[in-house]
Amino acid sequence: MRIPAIVALMLCSLAVGGCPQEEPARETAPPPVDLTRQEPASPWLNPSAQVISATRATCPDGYDIRQALYHGQAGSAQPEIILRLRDYNSRQHGKADEQLLISVPHSGSAQRIELPAAAAVLGLLASPSRQAWLALLLDQAEETDYTQAPLSLYHAAGNASYPCGSDARLWPLGLTDDDTVIARPLKALQLDNGLLAESVDWSSDAQRLVLSSVSWKEDLNGLFSAGDATTRTAGYTISYEPVLPADASVSYFVSGLSPQLPAIELLTCAYHVSYTVFAWTPPLAWVEQDVLATVQFLPDSQGTSQRPNHNGLFRLVTLNTKRRQLTLVEDHLPAGLPFVTGGGVLFYTLQRPHGDEVRWELWAASSDGLQKQCLWNPDDNTLYLSVEDQLGGRRVLVNRQVLDLSGGQPALTNELREFSLDPLPTGQTPLGIEPLRPVQPAASDDPLSPFAGGPPPIAIPD
């Protein structure tokens, strides 16, 4: 009987070396990606796409756009814009600069939003859908001061106010939907150069306000960032003791698959200590399903610094919540510069050298940082450029500050500009702003500043 050749080889192998060992499975390396043929993930990243741009409003000298946000449904043809303006025409010693809210429609004149008497605006919150927004107010009644004055949330559409806590003042961190606010206790409010700076107690329990029931309840996770691209929420906590600044850190969390489960810790990074009353709060937003974007701080490792965790590098990064993997999108950013996300795209601004000068630029990037497109390169008169908001990944709001020296006296104006993939209304919307106080020169803290004897300049985030 003849033995087949293959069986004979197997018997020979057993006789010489015993049972053959099973080799472990090997992963096949994926083929190299040809980046030159990669299709743009969004029209914003396609150089051939038509992006429409128009100036929506211009603030006169003496006013500063602090915030601008959309109010309307995603895909809405004509959303309105809510502006938070600071009036620094006449600064009063020991008092914060007055602020006002303006509703800018797609056509016609802008309207000032009437607020409760003695209320000072501290900030705006918008829901992920942009169908709801709230104003954070401080009661500036004469018998109260900043350290004791009560806070409230004001919903202009419903003409209703919601107290920010009963036993302790709470600082809202974000709207996770049209009806839910997440907040943490407020430790202090301090006045600096006409603005109030908050200090949040990150070690205490978070609170949740459901607007429909007008009730605050303890929140297990304190996650304050949500987006239309995902059903999950994210957030972070900051660990910082003034006596141990070198140990300061920020830890990121994401919600579990079930609302009853505790949050999942994703990453812990070094925290940037500003050494001013304005604490650094890294922006956090969802780019797409399972992908977050934030600003990461890398402290300077060149020896011991007199101000630990202050100098370093700020990077725009994305974080995959499944793989817990960081991806670099942009490097060398200012600490306080904001960004927004929509339609799987990140929108941000930065400064780049142009010959002998440095100019601001508006950029769009994919979540992996491999696709980027410069959307706008304004002239060298631009002092500051920031992305304020987006709507449905189709529209982007940008605030531009311009210094005009043509009149002999420096004038600082704010221009609100809109970029869109859809048609935009033509013409600017007149704001029709009247000063809240008589216009009087306000002395600058720096006698050598060109603004000495005039309105103070607007500080650029460090």
The pair of three-digit structure tokens given for residue 183, joined into one six-digit string: 């907040």
Q: At residue 451, what is the residue type?
A: F
Q: How far is CA 355 from the centre of its chain?
A: 30
Q: What is the pLDDT of residues 218-256, one digit of tens each?
A: 998 999 999 876 788 999 999 999 999 999 999 999 997
Q: How many domains does the chain have?
A: 1
Confidence (pLDDT) at 29 = 52
Sign of the Cα pseudo-torsion (197, 134, 283, 83, in order): negative
DSSP 8-state code for residue 108: S
3-state secondary structure (DSSP) of residue 302: coil
416 falls within a domain: yes
Residue 30 lies in a domain: no
Q: Is residue 31 part of a domain?
A: no
Phi, psi (rounded to 5 degrees) for 107:
-150, 160
Nearest Cα to 349, choosing from 335, 333, 327, 372?
333
Residue 238 and residue 188 in contact, taking contact as beta carbons nearer than 8 Å: no
State the Cα–Cα distance between residues 113 and 136, nearest whole angstrom: 14
Domain assignment present for 34: no
Q: Which among 280, 354, 342, 286 has a CA at the least distance from the CA of 310?
A: 280
pLDDT of residue 76: 63
**Phi, psi (degrees; rounded to nearest 5) at 314:** -110, 130
Give the whole-angstrom CA distance, residue 277 versus residue 293.
Answer: 26
Residue 246 lies in domain: 54-420
Q: Which residues contact 426 (CB under 8 A, 6 or more apart)?
A: 54
Identify whether 219 is part of a domain.
yes
Backbone angles phi, psi at 5, to 5 degrees: -60, -40
287 in any annotated domain = yes
Q: Residue 238 pairs with which residues in a beta bridge?
A: 250
CATH of the domain at 265: 2.130.10
What's the chain's average pLDDT? 82
The secondary structure of 338-359, three-state, reads CEEEECCEEEEEEEEEECCEEE
Tell me what pLDDT residue 287 has.
95
Q: What is the pTM of this model?
A: 0.85
Give a yes or no: residue 355 inside a domain. yes
The tokens describing 73, both together, are 């449904």
Fill in the DSSP letter of residue 75: T
- If you count them, how many residues does the chain have? 462
One-character DSSP codes across 348-411: EEEEEEETTEEEEEEEEEETTSS-EEEEE---TTEEEEEEEEEETTTEEEEEEEEEE-TTSS-E
* Residue 457 structure tokens: 């300049």
Among residues 413, 419, 411, which one has the least CA distance to residue 400? 413
- Could you report how far apart the first and last alpha carbons of the chain are, in Å? 88
Provide the greatest CA pair distance for the chain.
Answer: 115
Assess contact for 67 and 84: CB atoms under 8 A.
yes
Separation between Cα atoms, residue 99 and residue 87, nearest integer Å: 6
Q: Which residue stretches of the chain have pLDDT < 50?
A: 1-3, 5-28, 30, 436-457, 459-462
